[in-house]
Amino acid sequence: MGLLDYFRSTQSRRTNSAAVAKERLQILVAHDRGSRRDSPDYLPALKQELLDVVRKYVAIEQDQVKVHLDRDGDYEVLELNITLPDEPRPVR
């Protein structure tokens, strides 16, 4: 490594592209793993059917039903979160 390279490398230490790579990968990998582990194939269909059932009685929006599957060791917890409107208006 020559004199010029020495200064160049001091400069690149400031930019630190490896830190950027690590941060991007951590986000990406967390996302990949999330979609792999927490959403079995049936989850979207389950959500749609739940929405249809609730809509028989109360008018709600698509995003007011949240379905989430958590795994913790041997346990699987299916979490349903249905937000009802402030003034529920019956469908009929």
Partner 1 sequence: MARIIVVTSGKGGVGKTTTSASFAVGLAQRGYKTVVIDFDVGLRNLDLIMGCERRVVYDFVNVINNEANLNQTLIRDKRVENLYILPASQTRDKEALTRDGVERVLNELKQSFDYIVCDSPAGIEHGAFMAMYHADEALIVTNPEVSSVRDSDRILGILSSRSRRAERGEEPVKEHLVLSRYAPERADRGDMLSVDDVLEILGIPLLGVIPESQSVLQSSNAGAPIIMDGDTEAGMAYSDMVARFLGEDRPHRFITAEKKGFFKRFFGN
**Beta carbon nearer to partner 1, 7 or 92:** 7
Answer positive or negative: Cα dihedral of 80, 47, 63, 36: positive
Of the residues 21, 59, 78, 80, which one makes contact with partner 1 according to CB under 8 A: 21
12 binds partner 1 (CB under 8 A): yes
Instruction: Establish if 28 lies at the interface with partner 1 (CB under 8 A).
Output: yes
Q: Rounded to an integer, what distance in angstroms lies between the CA atom of residue 43 and that of residue 37?
A: 12
**Applying CB under 8 A, which part among 4-12, 47-55, 64-72, 77-85 lies near partner 1?**
4-12
